[in-house]
Amino acid sequence: MVTTPRNTRQRRAVAAILEDLDGFASAQEIHDLLRHRGESVGLSTVYRNLQALSDSAEIDALRNDDGETLYRQCSTGHHHHLVCRACGRTVEVAGPTVERWADAIAAEHGFVDVAHTLEIFGTCGDCTP
């Protein structure tokens, strides 16, 4: 039986933060932001909700170089990210060609259940004086 998630204050608070954020943020950053808003939520709960949202594909997750998982609310549908190293500003990009290329390569080598990760990092105009 499928369990329906409950509409708790904490879940709403986490969702609200994600609405307002522009770029990617770590669970801990989100936890701090909530605290500053006075909408304090337990760290475990922040992690749980972010993971749940990520699992249900409502938000995107990626790992940065430091091994932290970053979250962001994105448009639906498959896409990739162009992320500014300095300020975290993110541009969503679609790359139909890349998707097809990746799948073709994998099939060619007899791989199934194929997924891929693709992120582009750079320094955005605002951060390059």
Partner DNA sequence: CCGCGGATGGGAACCATTGTCAAATTGATG
Partner DNA sequence: CATCAATTTGACAATGGTTCCCATCCGCGG
Q: Which residues bind DNA (CB under 7 A)?
A: 3, 5-11, 26-28, 40-45, 47-49, 51, 66-69
Binding site for its own copies (CB under 8 A): 63, 67, 82, 84-85, 91, 93, 95, 97-98, 101-102, 105-106, 109-125, 128
In the list DNA, its own copies, none, the entry touching 6 (Cβ below 5 to 8 angstroms by class) is DNA
CB 116 → its own copies: shortest distance, Å?
5
Rounded distance between C-alpha atoms, residue 31 and residue 22, angstroms: 16
> Residue 57 or residue 118: which is nearer to its own copies going by CB?
118
Q: Is the dihedral of CA 62, 96, 94, 81 positive or negative?
A: positive
Shortest distance, position 39 Cβ to its own copies, whole Å: 28
Please name the helix (run of DSSP H) or strand (run of DSSP E) that holds residue 26, with its range, or none. Answer: strand 25-26
From DNA, its own copies, none, which one binds at residue 36 (CB under 5 to 8 Å depending on kind)?
Answer: none
Distance of alpha carbon 60 from its chain centroid, rounded?
3
Q: Are 14 and 33 in contact (CB under 8 A)?
A: no
CA distance 37 to 98: 41
